[in-house]
Amino acid sequence: MSKLRLDPVSEQAIDWMVKLRAGTPDAALQMRFNAWLAMDPAHLQAWTTLQERLGASFNTVRALDRRVPGQAGEARQILLQPQGSRRDALRVIAGLGLLGGGLWLCARSPLGDSLLADLSTGRGQRQGYNLADGSRLNLNANSAVDLRFDDQQRLVVLRHGELVIQVAPDPQRPLRVRTAQGQVQALGTRFLVAQEQDATRVVVLQHSVQLRLPDGTTRDLQEGQSALLATGRITPTAGDQRGRADWLVGRLNVLDEPLEQVVEALRPYQRGFIRIAPQVRHLRVQGVFPLDDPARTLAALAETLPIQVDSYSPWLTLIRARNT
């Protein structure tokens, strides 16, 4: 069986995707990527092709799961096959439009993470699911979860992104949402959970929840309250943050937040990458903006803040201080 190969430029594009999506890229990495992108028109073409084919292929594979939400049986069986069958699966997925060698490199990126998840959404996509226990789960754009429901437990594992869940009552199996920093246990409730870079944000929309860190620290939150879970601590946040759930209806509700957080909320809806200069990250923003039209939102921000928004291609947007 011959090995699937890519041309060198496509291999470079895949390497850049893995580097940029493995975490939060620093300024130096972004500058090197920008330079590579501008070096040759073939680089931009390879990058554009990679993004388009990856998005289409992951959506195709995820569509297998729509018939039985929460199981992802077919995809999991393919990916967990012995090595010989896994090579065959790679060819099948590549036949759907995925660049051959990129699949395994993507496994460490949010794109690959989404492929392995039970439920996931892509760029600009919001999705609601009726779970087997009667709960209602909504995922924001670019989010992924696993579901571990059996006779003993109801566990939702948030891989990345953001969710809102309306929990169906079941005294014998309290529903829990687990993140990288801890877990949230429903006490008959509706709440929001967002996986941020180094913390988990929880906002109680109805009733109450119990937060728990890996060291056993707990804290109860009531309706309208919110908190951040980080390593070793639970920090209550000020003000009523229930407006953060407005993404359910396509709105970004911002109440005196730094520009950096507004940009983070737009990333799952913006094609390509947005880089924000350190000098303007902490500018305060207030208002209600459309999530489904990031360009319009960025234009509105440029009109009200001392910033300049430059788009160099469909895949790269730079935000910096306005020239005076």
Of 115 and 162, more confident: 162
Cross-strand pairs, 253: 288
pLDDT per residue as tens digits for the range 264-278: 999 999 888 888 999
Q: Which of 2-11, 33-42, 87-96, 262-271 has the highest mean pLDDT?
A: 262-271
- The Cα 98–Cα 57 span in angstroms is 6
56 has a pLDDT exceeding 60: no
Question: By the 8 A CB rule, do 105 and 15 touch?
Answer: yes
Res. 156: pLDDT tops 60: yes
**pLDDT in the model for residue 247:** 96
Residue type for position 165: I
Nearest Cα to Cα of residue 217 among 200, 232, 236, 202: 232
> What value does the mean pLDDT take over residues 307-313?
86
Query: How far apart are the C-alpha atoms of 207 and 226, rounded to whole Å?
Result: 12
- Please give the CATH architecture assigned to the domain spanning 127-242: Sandwich (2.60)
pLDDT at 59 over 70: no
* pTM metric for this prediction: 0.68
Q: Give the residue from 293, 296, 290, 291 showing the smallest Cα distance to 309.
A: 296
pLDDT, position 90: 38
What's the chain's average pLDDT? 78
Same fold, 127-242 and 250-321: no
**What is the fold, at CATH topology level, of the domain defined by 250-321?**
Phage tail protein beta-alpha-beta fold (3.55.50)
| β-pair partners for 229 | 200, 234
DSSP code per residue over 180-217: SS-EEEESS-EEEEEE-SS-EEEEEEESEEEEE-TTS-
More confident residue, 166 or 65: 166
What pLDDT is stored for residue 29 in this prediction?
Answer: 75
Quick: pLDDT tens for 170-210. 989 999 999 999 999 998 789 999 999 889 999 999 999 99
Q: From CA 96, how far away is CA 83, in angstroms rounded?
A: 20
Domain boundaries, the chain: 8-116, 127-242, 250-321
Percent of residues, the chain, with pLDDT higher than 90 = 47
The model's confidence at residue 220, banded by pLDDT at 50, 70 and 90, is very high
230-236 LR contacts (CB < 8 Å, sep 24+): 230/181, 230/198, 230/199, 230/200, 231/181, 231/198, 234/182
